[in-house]
Amino acid sequence: MPLVSMRQLLDEAAKGGYGIGAFNVNNMEQIQAIMEAARETKSPVIVQASRGARAYSQDRFLYHLMLAAAELYPEIPMVLHQDHGNSVETCKSAIDMGFTSVMMDGSLMPDGQTPSSFEYNVDATRRVVEMAHAKGVTVEGEIGCLGGIEDGHGAGLDGLSHLTDPDQAVKFVKLTGLDALAIAIGTSHGAYKFSKKPTGKTLKMARLIEIHDKLPNVHLVMHGSSSVPKKLQNIINRYGGKLKPTWGVPIKEIQLGIKNGVRKINVDTDNRLAMTGAVRKVLMKSPKKFDPRDYLKPAREAMKKVVAERMGQFGQAGHAGDYAPIPLEEMARRYRA
């Protein structure tokens, strides 16, 4: 199956009342883990790459790994998504390379750290929408700012500093014509999201529901939504790590979001924790080993287990064969119409 637009997957998810995990990648093993999980659970999948991942993998390596995945897993609807594009130019480079979805994060200035104005965000996002839709490519935008920093992107603020204003979100969607809207409800990038189990004071699910009530037909996106399980933290610390106690987003809260318009859920930290724990375990228990395959194979398997679990929890499992792929050319025609 060819790479498809994210809009098609999100539309189908809305019809079926489920969410779709968007999993970040940097290398071959992570892509393999995601695709094996997708095959095992029969799930459509969104694979996403940050600017940092694109630089790390030198772009063309990453893109051709995705083409190999499309060839090896023809039954799986796959999206290649640019995560947190910091400028119109970054999104254009992704579209030109063959990404089928891009995020224009105009909530921050091009430095990826300074909160922007509403006017700047609208202008940058609208320009990307016009460019992307002409080629059938999906656009995600963001209103409000997440906390924390990951891959050099983020304002480094507390997750509650720039929550999404529901009325401003309505205006933003109308002015930009985007396909999916990422909102700030208290989550943060990275592992250290909450210093204790989140409550309604720190994770604003009521704000999400209010936004959904005002925008019932818009696909919402939850960023910073790794659950940071204690068992994964414990494995790292048991084998030489020094993670501080931290809490992520509870699965039941993500499922509440899915019932209220969330169609895309970003997960990265959980997979990093799983892989790192597996690598540490091998190297500490078998210090004479030096073949990278000895630790990358269990790392890949550990990530696959996490991804497969999330696919089941988000409800996307079993839906890979529900629909035929729509070519980007046809999506472009629909946008024009």
List residues with catalytic annotation. Answer: 83
User: What is the rounded CA–CA span in Å between residue 137 and residue 23?
Assistant: 19
Q: How far apart are CA 274 and CA 256, in angstroms?
A: 25
Between CA 79 and CA 100 the distance in angstroms is 6
Length of the chain (residues): 337
Question: Minimal CA–CA distance to 262: which of 323, 308, 205?
Answer: 205
SS (H, E, C) 158-179: CCCCECCCHHHHHHHHHHHCCC
Q: Helix or strand or coil: residue 247?
A: strand
Q: Output the CA torsion sign for 248, 249, 251, 252.
A: positive
Of the CA atoms within 13 Å of residue 231, those in its CB half-sphere come to 4
Instruction: For residue 235, give the amino acid letter.
Output: I
- In the Cβ-directed half-sphere of 46, how many Cα atoms lie within 13 Å? 32
Rounded Cα distance between 35 and 73, Å, is 7
Closest of 98, 117, 100 to residue 108, by C-alpha = 117
**Own/partner long-range contacts of 327-334 (Cβ < 8 Å, ≥24 apart):** 327/2, 327/136, 328/4, 328/5, 328/100, 328/135, 328/136, 328/137, 329/136, 330/136, 331/5, 331/7, 331/8, 331/136, 331/137, 332/133, 332/134, 332/135, 332/136, 333/136, 334/136
How far is 328 from 213, CA to CA, in rounded Å? 30
> Could you give the 3-state DSSP secondary structure of residue 26?
coil
